[in-house]
Amino acid sequence: MLSITKTIIKTRQASIALQAATDKQIKKTLNDLAAALLQHSVAILRANAKDVAKQDAANPRTDRLLLTPARIKAISDSIKKVSRLPMPGGKSLDRRVLKNGLKLQRITTPLGVVAAIYESRPNVTYDIAALCLRSGNACLLKGSSEADNSNKAAIKIIKQVLTDNGLPADAVNLLPSARETVNHLFTATKYIDVIIPRGSNGLIEYVRKNSLVPVIETGAGVCHVYVHEAADLEMAANIVVNAKTSRPSVCNAMDTVIVDRSVAAEFLDILAPGLKEKGVIAYADKTAYAVLKNKLTVYKATAKHYATEFLSLHCAVKTVSGIEEALKHIQTYSTRHSEAIVTSDKKLAQQFLRTVDAAAVYHNASTRFTDGEEFGLGAEVGISTQKLHARGPFALEKLVTEKWIVEGRGQVR
Amino acid sequence: MLSITKTIIKTRQASIALQAATDKQIKKTLNDLAAALLQHSVAILRANAKDVAKQDAANPRTDRLLLTPARIKAISDSIKKVSRLPMPGGKSLDRRVLKNGLKLQRITTPLGVVAAIYESRPNVTYDIAALCLRSGNACLLKGSSEADNSNKAAIKIIKQVLTDNGLPADAVNLLPSARETVNHLFTATKYIDVIIPRGSNGLIEYVRKNSLVPVIETGAGVCHVYVHEAADLEMAANIVVNAKTSRPSVCNAMDTVIVDRSVAAEFLDILAPGLKEKGVIAYADKTAYAVLKNKLTVYKATAKHYATEFLSLHCAVKTVSGIEEALKHIQTYSTRHSEAIVTSDKKLAQQFLRTVDAAAVYHNASTRFTDGEEFGLGAEVGISTQKLHARGPFALEKLVTEKWIVEGRGQVR
């Protein structure tokens, strides 16, 4: 696997050359890439068809792998959007003159080399490449073997556009999809600045466990909506149904609804039809089970259910004596992604927003809004569930590091 | 080692209670701690004497372990200084109203629990505790067994002051100094938000390799001063002598001086007496060796020397054909800590400052300035040599994470 090490080093060298690229050059490159996607859509679809043919059509994963003319158009549009975002590097964060006359500046600069490890969606290849180029970073892409043909078609187009625009072709490299590839990334601390795993918990755990290169984790969300006794119960039911069912397979979907026991019967009566209509299956504690049993498919909940990110139309239901118990439940099971309270008690809402330790905390709104585009940050690499560097939507603005520039006239200490 | 896990969990709980502390309360706690150090200095010195008695007095490490009345005064003053720094949490970074009416705020909040793993200096216990309290974080401290008695005396005083001020005593906990303690920290991803290793490269490597909790690396600096042919050679010699000799044991000290071959003989002639006077021993390439051999203790340099952080009065000397070769040498051997150029060519200086990938880059100044206090940021946890979250002096302002607060009126997606 000497060739992988070589590719990693070439990508590092390209990242240095990339620093000399002008803003205009990068904008044009991204626009050209957006156009090239449409122009080469037949070749892209043909490569993708080879990948899809190997899969079981009935498996929902196959749909994630599939490209269509409409999906290619959407990727192309998204690249155009990224091209219009401002370069996050070169921003002055701080500027001061010290007593000894030293002139200090703290500026943002590209990270250097970003490595992404992801699963079958072929759009990720284009998305990460576009975000990295826009922020002046070179990138190493490691997709899954299922998308091999699609990714190879993508990288061919990307490299051609880079070359046509006078940028180093090695600024974006696709690595072999074989699993052992990742081990070469994990030890390349001299050449790679950050590794971003996108996908299942298993993948993220594996990367966290084995990488010596700093990792930004994106993903897993065990998210709660807490319905307080002073909530507008219609609003609460509407929020819970939306948070659970509008897109159950994503990380900001609700997993557990928590409700004050004093309003549990009334609230669950209002909630049940909405969940039933969408085909939701619930795991409820004793109190909630008694209310729900004739209104919904419902099973008894165990601790395991409360710790589960369902990514499906399943959810857990928990009744509590009040906010203290609700906060304790969230503290125990939350993965610190997105947490919501529904209440008309403003003081209590503030307590919740202040106390809950999560990337995004909501009052009277659905957890489904945790997203770079929704928050107005533009396309995102993922939702970070850790606390360092980037928390919540991990967008362009965080694909940079800082650097202190110190200018003197011979000062010594 | 069940007790360690219990201590970790109690520290997490204390971190939640700590959020309720007022700014005034924390300020007073730190001032009381500063006073308590002076008040209990006899007990502190007595405990420290037990630690020192076990060591070889001739070993320079013993001096690092030693406390004196003057050193206790300095620690006390430093705590007072930290008490006056502003709380970095609760700052609004962003505030916007989305089209759908959602009110968005991004604020800074304490990280939660910070774990520090460090070596023999007993002041670190007080420093980290003070910085963590000031930023609203609880902390877990793991010192070395050499400083066991000193650290136990410290934690006793700290806990008493916390309790007297109505803060949870578990907000600062000292862990057993046995090496296996750290393994309990590495897997506590649910309870610890960041681990900061302070000390030798070996320690930092070990933590990076084994921790599942995110790590901020501080430390290792292979730092260069590049003397360009258009430099004021007297200024350059003054900077090199200062960068190498003013405190050779620290990470921002210079390791290699690089000089353009066109001025190498002239420059090294000026430089040699200054280095010789301080007892510097050099490892030089062929060209530099020929100039230095009768003026200084000098040996032939190998690649190993260029990759060494000396932390002593040794240094390497390299001659180059010009800036391109200098940049290439730095790119190969730098640990991205602090890098300097000395030149009167402003355009070339800008190229160096822009191109060199390091936490701090200097023009016409000594690398020794890379320090939180010097940069006006206040006391620091260490100098971060990685690119995520904190880069360069890792001070109070970076002991926070972010949180999105979203307030709605029932919005769903």
Interface test with A, best of B19, B351, B413 (most A CBs within 10 A): B413
State the pLDDT at residue A1. 57
The alpha helices in A40-68, defined as continuous H runs, are: 41-53, 60-65
A79/A34 Cα distance (integer angstroms): 6
Instruction: Yes or no: say if A318 and A256 are a contact pair by the CB < 8 Å rule.
Output: yes
Tokens standing for residue B377: 């940021």
**B342 near B236, Cβ under 8 Å?**
yes
Fold observed for domain B2-217+386-407:
Aldehyde Dehydrogenase; Chain A, domain 1 (3.40.605)
- Pairing mode, strands B92-97 and B103-110: antiparallel
B205 exposure class (CB count in 10 Å sphere: 0-12, 13-18, 19+) = middle
Q: What's the sign of the alpha-carbon dihedral B383, B74, B52, B246?
A: positive
Which chain B residues touch A337 with a CB distance below 8 Å?
none
Task: Determine which helix (DSSP H) or strand (DSSP E) holds B198, and give its type and residue range.
Answer: none
Burial class (CB in 10 A: 0-12, 13-18, 19+), A61: middle
For B111, which residue in chain A has the nearest alpha carbon? A387
A271-281 pLDDT tens trace = 999 999 999 99
Task: Answer whether residue B332 shows pLDDT above 70.
Answer: yes
The H or E element that residue B394 is part of is: strand B392-395
Any alpha helices (H) in A2-40, and if so which ranges?
A: 2-18, 23-39
Please write the tens of the pLDDT for every residue from A97-155. 999 999 999 999 999 999 999 988 899 999 999 999 999 999 999 999 999 999 999 99
Taking contacts as CB-CB distances below 8 angstroms, the residues of chain B near A232 are 410
Mean pLDDT confidence for A171-181? 94
Q: At residue B346, what are phi and psi to the nearest 5 degrees?
A: -65, -35
User: Which residues of chain B make contact with A112, given a CB cutoff of 8 A?
Assistant: 357, 387
Report d(CA A149, CA A65) in Å as an integer.
11
Residues contacting residue B8 through CB under 8 Å, at least 6 positions apart: B113, B140, B184, B185, B188, B191, B192
Structure tokens at A139: 């990138």
Phi-psi region of B405 (alpha: psi -120 to 50; beta: other; left: phi over 0): beta
CB contact under 8 A, A362 and B406: yes
| Closest CA relative to residue A287, chosen from A267, A308, A270, A310 | A267
Q: Where in chain B is the domain with CATH 3.40.309.10?
A: 223-369
Residues of each domain in chain A carrying CATH 3.40.605.10? 2-213+386-407
What pLDDT, on the 0 to 100 scale, is given for residue B2?
Answer: 74
Q: Is B97 helix (H, G, I), strand (E, B) or coil?
A: strand
Largest Cα separation within chain A, whole Å, is 82
Q: Which residues of A149-165 are buried (b: 16+ CB within 10 A; e: fewer)?
A: bbbbbbbebbbebbeeb
**Beta-carbon separation of B209 and A212 below 8 A:** yes
SS3 of residue B179 by DSSP: coil
Q: Which pLDDT score, from 0 to 100, does residue B202 have?
A: 85
Q: Which candidate from A194, A246, A369 shows the least CB-CB separation from B102?
A: A369
Mean pLDDT of chain B: 95
The answer to whether B193 and B214 have CB atoms below 8 angstroms apart is: yes
Fold of A223-369: Aldehyde Dehydrogenase; Chain A, domain 2 (3.40.309)
The interface predicted TM-score (ipTM) is: 0.92
Q: Can you read off the two tokens belonging to residue B69?
A: 């009345």
Q: Quick check: B331 and A401 CB within 8 A?
A: no
Interface test with B, best of A406, A407, A409, A411 (most B CBs within 10 A): A406
Bridge partner residues of B94 (DSSP): B106
Residues of A in contact with B410 (CB under 8 A): 232, 235, 238-239, 364-365
Range A2-213+386-407 classified under CATH 3.40.605.10: yes
Q: Which residue has the higher pLDDT, B54 or B1?
A: B54
pLDDT score of B379? 85
**Cβ neighbour number for residue A62 with a 10 Å cutoff:** 16
Could you count the other beta carbons within 10 Å of the beta carbon of residue A374? Answer: 18
Give ranges for CATH 3.40.605.10 in chain B. Answer: 2-217+386-407
Instruction: Please state the rounded mean pLDDT for residues A161-174.
Output: 98
Supply B61's token pair: 């490490």
Average pLDDT over residues B91-107: 96
Count CB-CB contacts under 10 A for residue B171: 26
DSSP letter at B398 equals G
Tokens of A320: 């509590």
pLDDT, tens digit (0-9, with 9 covering 90-100), for A316-344: 999 999 999 999 999 999 999 999 999 99
**A54: number of Cβ within 10 Å:** 12
The pLDDT tens digits of the residues spanning A253-272 come to 999 999 999 999 999 999 99
DSSP structure class, residue B215: B
Q: Mean pLDDT across chain A, nearest whole number?
A: 95
On the CB side of B352, how many CA atoms lie within 13 Å of its CA?
32
Taking the C-alpha atoms of residue B59 and residue B303, their distance in angstroms, rounded to an integer, is 29
